[in-house]
Structure 1
């Protein structure tokens, strides 16, 4: 089982962050690509453009693990030529020789399950069942029953099934409550005989606005990676190596492109230790973003958190910008870079963590200390 997954938007810059990983890491990180949510007031032409953009973004994915892909991001009853838009999307991927692990929601009805069974059979890579935080927190016994029913309805062996426990944006529930609820759900899975290919816990502490972390312009702040702390607590109770970890990288779960943002701030997000660091510039209304980034990057490189140019493709680029050897690019490029560093760092951090001796892994203090000091 690949321990590390990441939920990533199906956008070219986000997908590119995987392609820029060194080869060994591309084979270690399992991508979970999700299409951006389509607004409920979208026209038919918007639906087709939205699906085409997602397909083209996925087509740029190179030489990594077979990705999980969630295209069920349309409003209800959105059809193309009489078929649900998401099913058309999976068929398009198949026709373009792109094989993926499709995603079905826990509460999909019988007809939706039958359609996904056909998709999963065609792609031949299994199926992912996605549970949301309310599924995990409220009725775990019913959730385990629903998983069993889906596996029966799609006619797959349980060893071909992945389960994604997606808490998405953390903060709605207390972290301890989330950990205990996930442990309880996993116990119900065990009792129901659910021995699937991979179970992954996912969550994100990334805020909607940078001002939630950094109030002052041209300054620095940090937030704790709560999703990692929750996961380590679950693993200490449930067992290391049995539960995968996923986050949303440096992008918040609810991100959409549906509305233009006037006051975009120049910013750099840098993952190290148990925190995500935010280096903030100012609104692009005050200063063009291209003019902000050299100073933002220099602030990060000189902050003591920077891990050096050899750490990742992104870190090499940061050094070049800090040394005035290259231009800074557009905002999309910085999503690619910040995500690329994050992927490289988390993959190495998790790999090193689970190799610790059992007596180290059984201690919350030692696990926290290792995570905080890892470089």
Structure 2
């Protein structure tokens, strides 16, 4: 089954809670790609992992259980791009092997992701060797910066891709390719469209299940989105405009939309930010409507979200309290009802709205494009 939307989500509480509150009609159209957080920094230093003989195993098991609590019985992709390609547990087992086997035991239908950029590592290759034999999963081949550069030498690119396919033993019909631009800040929509078209040409020799196009236009810092405190602004979702242009240009191809939800892929986690500004990233057609507050250390602190929520709820962009769990929270918060939540809560609120909004936008555009194609015949 081809998903409507592949959100690339951090394996964090905010995202897990967002999926927990996502309505079934939206959830059934998603195939999230979970990125396993690195076991480092404040996570590794947490008291619960101290004095354990196998703290990495404990961390990954905890993560797998959390994932199963919200995605049991559903399909997803799992990637460990934040780990070294040869990362292993204390007992020598590769991180990815353990995560996939643990998720399977918990009822999560996890599908493998091969990162083209790190395929040269022999220990990484071993994880995927013959993974497709007797397996009904879908393999995702993730193309990022190195792959984009290799496209200038199509013969080398295709040889390397053929090696991945042969090594994993997945049939072409059970392989998807993710063209991942990451942070789109340095790129224009024209640049992205040209890169994808170059990639589509190189991939034309294979009959893959589908090709996904991913990126993130939301800046790492809020002041890069909205310069003035206590004001609003708009951020163009270049990844969406790119996907729409290509979907229209190539209606017969199975092109799937993907993005990083409301987080920038380069954002640093687990770093204290006491002066972070209050903010709401509200997804609208082709854009983010960003409402910026002020430092969480000033006067009303977290209570500023009552005011920020009112800005969204009273705007022409608000889709109503019944649209998603996030919209319900914004509606109530705007009226001063209930708590405003912590930073993790805000990730959940913005993400639940985003998942529903993007799924709706993709479906509506797909239907409209199909009608235009039918009319042109």
Q: Does 1:91 align with 2:101?
A: yes
| 2:180 match: secondary structure | strand
Task: Say whether residues 1:2 and 2:3 are aligned partners.
Answer: yes
Secondary structure at the residue paired with 1:67?
strand
1:312 maps to which residue? 324
Does residue 125 of the first structure (1) align with residue 137 of the second (2)?
yes
Gaps of 5+ in 2: 46-52
Matching residue of 1:334: 346
Partner of 2:65: 56
Change (3 A) 1:17 1:281: same
Match of 2:50 in 1: none
Note the C-alpha offset of 1:118: 5.7
Alignment match of 1:103 (pick from 110, 113, 122): 113
- State TM-score, norm by structure 1: 0.87
Structure 2: distance between partners of 1:27 and 1:64: 11
One of 163, 171, 174 as aligned partner of 1:157:
171
Q: 1:1-375 residue pairs with structure 2 within 5 A?
A: 1-39=2-40, 47-48=56-57, 50-62=59-71, 65-80=74-89, 81-106=91-116, 107-109=118-120, 110-117=122-129, 124-139=136-151, 141=154, 142-190=156-204, 192=205, 194-239=206-251, 242-287=254-299, 289-357=301-369, 360=372
- The 3 A distance-change label for structure 1 pair 94 and 213 is same
When normalised by structure 2's length, the TM-score is 0.87
Indicate the SS of the match to 1:253: coil
Counterpart CA distance in 2 for 1:209 and 1:237 is 34
Give the aligned CA root-mean-square deviation in angstroms: 2.7
Residues 205-236 of structure 1 deviation map (CA, whole Å, 9 limit, x = unaligned):
01010001112221111111111111122223
Post-superposition CA distance 1:289-342 (Å, at most 9, x none): 431111110111112221111211211221111122322222211111111111
Residue 269 of structure 1 aligns to a residue in which SS?
Answer: strand
In 2 relative to 1, CA 209–53 (structure 1 residues): closer, same or farther, beyond 3 Å?
Answer: farther
The answer to whether the 8 Å contact 1:266/1:293 transfers is yes
Q: Does the 8 Å CA contact 1:39/1:75 hold for their aligned counterparts?
A: no
Please give the alpha-carbon distance, in whole angstroms, between the structure 1 residues aligned to 2:16 and 2:135. Answer: 20
Provide closer, same or farther for how the CA distance between residues 219 and 174 of structure 1 changes in structure 2, counting only shifts above 3 A: closer
User: Which stretches of structure 1, 4 residues or more, deviate above 6 A after TM superposition?
Assistant: 40-46
**Shift in Å at residue 279 of structure 1?**
0.8
SS at match of 2:218: coil
Name the count of aligned residue pairs.
Answer: 361
Write the distance in 2 (CA, Å) between the matches of 1:294 and 1:195: 51
Structure 1 residue 24 displacement after superposition: 1.2
Q: Please state whether the residue corresponding to 2:198 is helix, strand or coil.
A: helix
Aligned partners of 2:139 and 2:174 also within 8 Å: yes
